[in-house]
Amino acid sequence: MATLAVGIVLENAVLFTFGKEPRRLLSALAVHPLSIGGLGLYPLQILIPLLGLAAALALHLVARWTLRGKAWLAVVQNPDAAQLMGINVTSTIAAAYALSTIFAAGAGMLIAPLVHVSADMGTLFGIKAFAMAMLGGITNPWGVMLAGCCYGLIEALTTALFGSPYTHIITLTLVIIALASMPQGLFGDAGVKTV
C-alpha cells in the first residue's frame, strides 16, 4: 500500500509540475524504420528486447556467481536464516529496490520514444508486467520472461490483424482465461494443501 501511495503522490507531483498533456520524446533510434520481412521496425524496437534479455542473463549470472546475488537469493528464500548467517537483510532489500529502480528508469527511457510521455504512462505497462509475472509463475523468472515475450508477440499480431482498438481487449482476455485455468501460472509451482 505504501508503494502505491508513493506512486500516486509522485504521479500527481509530475502532473502539477509538467501538466497533463502528453509529450513526445525524440530518439534517433525511433525515427527511420527498418524493413525486415515486410515489417517496418524501428531500431529501438529491436534493441529493447535484446537489452531485456541481456539484463535477464546478467541478473541470472549475478544471482548465481556473486556474493551479493547469493545474499539476494538467501533473503528471498528465508530472511531469518539469512540474517542468522550474517547477511544484512535490510541493506540487501534496499539494494534490490535500488537495482529495480535503475532497471525501471532504464526501461522508461527506452520505451518513451515509442509512446507519448505522460505522468501515467507506466500504469498500463505495470499492469501488463504484473499480469506476466503471474502468468509466467512468480517464482520462475525465466517463465515470466517467456510469458512476457509471448504476450508481446500476441499483442503485436492482434494489433496487426484486428487493429489497435482491440489489442488490450483480446490480449488481456487471453491472460484472464489462462490465469483462470492455471492459477499458479504457466511455469509456477502449484501450492500444496495439507488436510
Q: Mind listing the pLDDT tens digit for each residue in 107-120?
A: 888 888 888 888 77
Strand partners, 36: 39
Residue 173: inside a domain, yes or no?
yes
Residue 73: inside a domain, yes or no?
yes
User: In terms of domains, do 164 and 110 share one?
Assistant: no
User: In terms of domains, do 132 and 104 share one?
Assistant: no
pLDDT at res. 194: 60
pLDDT(126) > 70: yes
pLDDT at res. 195: 58
CA dihedral over 159, 164, 165, 170, signed as positive or negative: positive
For the entire predicted model, the pTM comes to 0.73
pLDDT at res. 90: 92
- Predicted confidence band of residue 22 (pLDDT cuts 50, 70, 90): confident
The number of distinct structural domains making up the chain is 2
Distance separating alpha carbons of residues 26 and 190, to the nearest angstrom: 45
Q: Which residue, 118, 142, 171, sits at the end of a domain?
A: 118
Where does residue 71 rank: exposed (0-12), middle (13-18), buried (19+ CB within 10 A)?
Answer: buried
User: In terms of domains, do 104 and 136 share one?
Assistant: no
